[in-house]
Structure 1
Amino acid sequence: MATRHFLTLLDLSPEELRYLIQRAISIKNGLKTHGPTYTPFANRTLAMIFEKSSTRTRVSFETAMAQFGGHALFLSPRDTQLGRGEPIEDTARVLAEMVDAVMIRTFSHAGLEAYAAASTVPVINALTDDYHPCQLLADIMTWTELRGGVKGRTAVWIGDGNNMCHSWINAARQFDFQLRICCPEGYEPRQDILEAAGDRVTLFRDPHEAVAGADLVTTDVWASMGQEEEQAKREAAFAGLQVSEALLDRAAKDVLFLHCLPAHRGEEISETLLDDPRAVVWQEAGNRLHAQKALLEFLLIGRVDG
């Protein structure tokens, strides 16, 4: 069987993604009931290459491998030959001889694609400047757990047309829901990604109009990793796009609020929004563990019944 990679949500079929969501929920329920007794990864190793800092990604992948009976290796450019100029394709070929899968959190999506093209073991995108598909697995899992199927529902993205926004666009395509994107002029998502989604995605400028009657609202920090020097400029551009309790009041009565975290309280969200019962960000963060377990299992073992 050809090696499967997970670089964007488009690497799996809609049916495979739906399977992953249900499998993640099943794995989570099993962990709650029986503890970490399901250990299909005995003697398996995941290499984790981090060029960007991380809390949730590192902890969730390491814990996933440990609870599945396997092992995770943390690698940074400071500790490896990547930091001394070894071509990423060479690193990919070497690691593929030693480990069972590779997870990469980096800047360049093109670099990730080059790595995956040279790798004979599964490669997982744990965030690039263009996409963050693992976060979307956790997000859709959370939405599904709390509200059932997401098909035909309406989600709203408020903020920058960044890597998270791109992955939400792909999610709208793959899970068949409507996505409203509310962003300032000049901060739109990439045009090719937008156009590929067709009529599933609509652009807005007014957040009050965007959230009207919506089932889910989500946002992200205004300045992502690597954009810190743009903070003041972005604060001015995004003024008026803060998500608050009052803004959520304009959405559906049972609206959910998601945030990939870390959040900057008082900037993209109000100081107290994460304390609102409509905000389910802690469950969302915890679901990174279960969704990535399902992904790792699928890439290394295949489908599992039950």
Structure 2
Amino acid sequence: MSHATPQTGPLRHFLQFRDLTTDEINYIFARAKLIKDKFKRYEKHHTLHDRNLAMVFEKASTRTRVSFEAGMYQLGGSVIHLTTGDSQLGRSEPIEDTARVISRMVDLVMIRTFEQTRLERFAAHSRVPVINGLTNEFHPCQILADIFTFIEHLGPIQDKTVAWIGDANNMSYTWLQAAEMLGFQLHVSAPKGYELDSQRIDNPPASVLKQFPDPLEACRGAHLVTTDVWTSMGYETENDQRRRAFADWCVDGEMMAVADPSAIFMHCLPAHRGEEVTGEVIDGPQSVVWDEAENRLHVQKALMEFLLLGQIEG
């Protein structure tokens, strides 16, 4: 039996990874394990009975929609799905007005959108917790799932090394926030012109971040090698240019061979085999991408529960 009481104290949002404390992140990992174990035993876990989640999609989605929608139903709640095509968001209603109205009718909002500032404007006018389902700048729910998956396979991530092979995108900036908070080192290798923006990263120490012009060197000794598509949503016009620039940044067997012997491979999906990763790697024994994809469900359930109920037992 869960001891679920309404969250007291200030309204909490999850707009970027550092919106939670390190202790709260670790609580969510522990809670996700409990929730996943119950899920595997087909045990009910209805801590959010009669709560409502509004999902707002201004960017297309597969995994984000399925994981949040299934997760909320599994917690005993219900879901409302909105897109720009079937709401006033697509008809130029100010996002502040949308926030004021939606947040009076539901208990929780997840948004997948473009600029982080758009998400922040919504949250500033919301009466309920808001979750970042993805923005151009950050993808915190994915990194929660990735680190939870790492812990499942290799134990605590503190003092380990994560190699990010690819451009400075919403994933890499979120990995950097996680490294600063959880005490692991991030190796980043990107082609010239696609590196992390020095104005955004605040000069982290070498114990947190090392950047490499050679992706093979970035992978050396890493416990996790991870990547993403070369062209993120919204940058499709750069497709051909990016293919040329990233030709040497395909994660292959050679890169995995110089990583730690226990190393695992992750990809947030969808993947393009033969571009950012070879089929041999993503479909090989070191790949944990399917566990990683499933774990979006479990960590997001733990996150939604935390934002609405705080830390609970049972």
| TM-score (structure 1 length as normaliser) | 0.98
1:1-306 equivalences in 2 (<5 Å): 1-33=9-41, 35-195=42-202, 197-199=204-206, 200-306=208-314
Matched positions, count: 305
- 1:275-296 per-residue CA deviation (whole Å, 9 max, x = no partner) reads 2110000000000000000000
Change (3 A) 1:196 1:73: farther
CA distance in 2, matches of 1:98, 1:163: 30
**Partner amino acid for 2:122?**
Y
Structure 1 position 196, deviation (Å): 5.3
Give SS of 2:274's match. Answer: coil
Corresponding residue SS for 1:232: helix
SS in 2 for 1:265: coil
Aligned-partner residue type, residue 63 of structure 2: R
Change (3 A) 1:113 1:196: farther
- Assess if the C-alpha contact under 8 Å between 1:158 and 1:207 holds in 2: yes
Out of 183-192 and 118-127, give the one that drifted further: 183-192
Amino acid at match of 1:65: M
> Partners in 1 of 2:256 and 2:70 — Cα distance?
34
CA contact (8 A) 1:51 1:106 kept: yes
Measured in 2, the distance between the counterparts of 1:101 and 1:192 equals 33
Gaps of 5+ in 2: 1-8
**C-alpha RMSD of matched pairs (Å):** 1.0
> Could you tell me how far apart the structure 1 residues matched to 2:200 and 2:26 are?
21
Distance 2:212 2:313 in 1: 42
For the 8 Å contact 1:102–1:122, the answer to whether it is kept is yes
Cα pair 1:36 1:67 within 8 Å, conserved:
no
CA separation of 1:70/1:196 partners in 2, compared to 1, >3 Å: closer, same or farther?
farther
CA shift for structure 1 position 271:
2.5
Look up the SS of the partner of 1:126 in the other structure. Answer: strand
The alpha-carbon deviation at position 174 of structure 1 amounts to 1.3
What CA deviation, in whole Å up to 9, does each residue of 1:231-284 have, x standing for no partner? 110011111110012210110000010100000000000123222110000000
Maintained 8 Å contact 1:107/1:129: yes
Q: Could you tell me which amino acid in structure 1 is paired with residue 259 of structure 2?
A: A
What amino acid sits opposite 1:41 in the alignment? L
Q: What amino acid is the match of 1:208?
A: L
The answer on whether the counterparts of 1:41 and 1:68 sit within 8 Å (CA) in structure 2 is yes
* Runs of 4+ displaced beyond 4 Å: none
Q: What is the SS of the residue equivalent to 1:120?
A: coil
| Alpha-carbon distance between aligned partners in 2 of 1:99 and 1:132, rounded to the nearest angstrom | 23
Counterpart CA distance in 1 for 2:203 and 2:77 is: 38
Residue identity matched to 1:255 = A
Q: Which amino acid aligns with 1:295?
A: L
With normalisation by structure 2, the TM-score equals 0.95
Aligned-residue identity in percent? 51
AA matched with 1:119: S
